[in-house]
Structure 1
Amino acid sequence: MKKTDRKSNQNQQLQVQEINNLQIEDKDIDYEISKLSKTNRHAKIKSETLNITLVSLLLSMSTAVSLINVVIPFGITGVNVGFTLKYFVIAISFQVVGLYWGMIIGLLDGLLQFIIYGMSPLFRFTSSMGLMLWVFLFWLLFYKIFNIYDKESKSYRIFYSFISGVIIMVVQPFASATMTYFRSLIELEDKNFGFVSFMNSWISLMIFDLFAIILFVSLTYRIQLIVSKVRH
């Protein structure tokens, strides 16, 4: 009986010890999970703070270069060097801060231009929409569909950069010109003038965008390498 009782006590002690060990392990796991969660939260806050800082910097840069008032005449239109640089800065924003913040830069640029230069609120709003589409198209074609940044083949990057650039040069000006047409209808209520504005805006923007696209295509891969090194 004594031996049986002793064994029973030993078994009970072992069970209690195992339960205690499990409880300690559970506490350790909970602590590690809590610690990891806090670390991730801090990292996310730090990342978003960095993005906001970079957004402010890019927005300041786009505004600063837009003040450069050098116009190169091209027949029916003229290419403003300052605005070409502005469009380039906004185009690369998705590489630096991602698509979401890049499109916000496009939206905020219209608001900032309205504060600085005034003009029609509807004009500034449609300009913002055009810039948001501008960023989205670069992200969609250069990163999402063709993803030239992960390709080591130079010929692949050149070919698909050319294809992407041509698509953007047609689509984005067409969308912006369409918004110009409807804006003219709303503000002036003149269909004939609206159509003339549409054609003039489309052709002018294609010529204008061409220079910003060439600048982007020439530098985007190098910029991506720099951003990747800094991020990692």
Structure 2
Amino acid sequence: MVNEMFDSGNGPRGCGSETTLVSYLYGEMEGRERRSFESHLEDCDLCAEEIASFSSLRISLGAIRNEFSATESPSTSVPETPANRGWLEPLAAFFGPLGVRPAVGVAAFTLLLLVGAFAVSYLFTGVGTEEIAEDVPPVTEPLESDVPVSEPKRNELIAEEDVEEMSESEQDTSASDNEVRQPQKVNVKRKSRGPASAPRRSIEQIAENTEPPTLSEAAAEDLDDDSLRLTDLFTETSED
């Protein structure tokens, strides 16, 4: 404030001790210089008036300070919010005492994580796919001797035997029917248009030369049948 007064031209006029007055008011003068300025104040009325005006201002400022010093200054407490620490800060704190830079520490930690993950996956999955394919044994098909064969029951065996016997008997009957029912071709000479009987002598001779076939029961039943046969048709036509 004193400096502003002197800079604005409000300092003591007609006296060249303006700078010395400011130093005296601020208590910057000591010893011999202070005593010489005090002797100057006794002779210079302008400097004495300036010092008196500043002293009254100083007293008023002190009174104001004493007035407000009785009141207690309110205590203000600002709540401290904890700073959110990232996951990199613990790593930096861990690698800090070791003399490693945070970036290098983070890279090393990431590399360790990758190596650990690869090791765990290798342990749990075992060998690779190519080695697994090589270790798998070839699939062997079961042999016929290894397959359990269920023995047929007694009823099934009997049924199979009956079927075989029936098939054999049917074959015999069909063969006998073919042998008996198929007539021999006989050349019959007709002299006139009248009815001519077939030469029975040749048929009897053929029957004597041929051995009688052995017939089964089914064939015998067919022979006993009185139904119309092929030979009867031939005899009827020959008689006509």
TM bucket normalised to smaller: under 0.3
Q: Name which structure has the greater RCO, CA cutoff 8 Å, separation 6+.
A: 1
TM-score in terms of structure 2 length: 0.24
Larger radius of gyration: 2
Higher helix share: 1
